[in-house]
Amino acid sequence: KRVPKGSGVSRRKKCEPEVASSLIKNIFSHYVKMPVARDAFKIVEKCSEKYFKQLSNDLEAYSNHAGRKTVEMADLEVLMRRQGLVTDKMPLHVLIERYLPLEYRKLLIPVAVSGNKVIPCK
């Protein structure tokens, strides 16, 4: 028997955005500095997915609490402070300078250039 085409129920699974598994593997392999078993890597993928979901939920809660619809750098700094990554001895700018490449640092940290201009403009 044929099933009618317009049954009204979608059979497609809803896709959620996710971090590329190759990126997770490269980052994890860089810090582990040894080969990773396939089954162990699957667990690392699941953990990183849950971590990023929780991270985005926390950032959303912080921006909602402030009455905004946009996540700002201050929200990220509060989250990193609660996680213990940003402290009085280790400010956010030091972490940015230490771990991000120059092209990203230029986007996040204001720099004075010739002509008395500050980049990035706020």
Asked if residues 63 and 71 have their Cβ atoms less than 8 Å apart, the reply is yes
* Arithmetic mean of pLDDT over the chain: 82
More confident residue, 61 or 3: 61
Of 92-96, 97-101, 104-108, the range with the lowest mean pLDDT is: 104-108
Q: Label residue 18 by pLDDT band (50, 70, 90).
A: confident
User: What's the burial of 46, exposed, middle or buried (CB within 10 Å: 0-12/13-18/19+)?
Assistant: exposed
Domains of the chain (ranges; CATH) run 37-108 (1.10.20.10)
Share of the chain above pLDDT 90, in %: 29
Compute the distance between CA of residue 55 and CA of residue 7 in angstroms, rounded to an integer.
Answer: 38
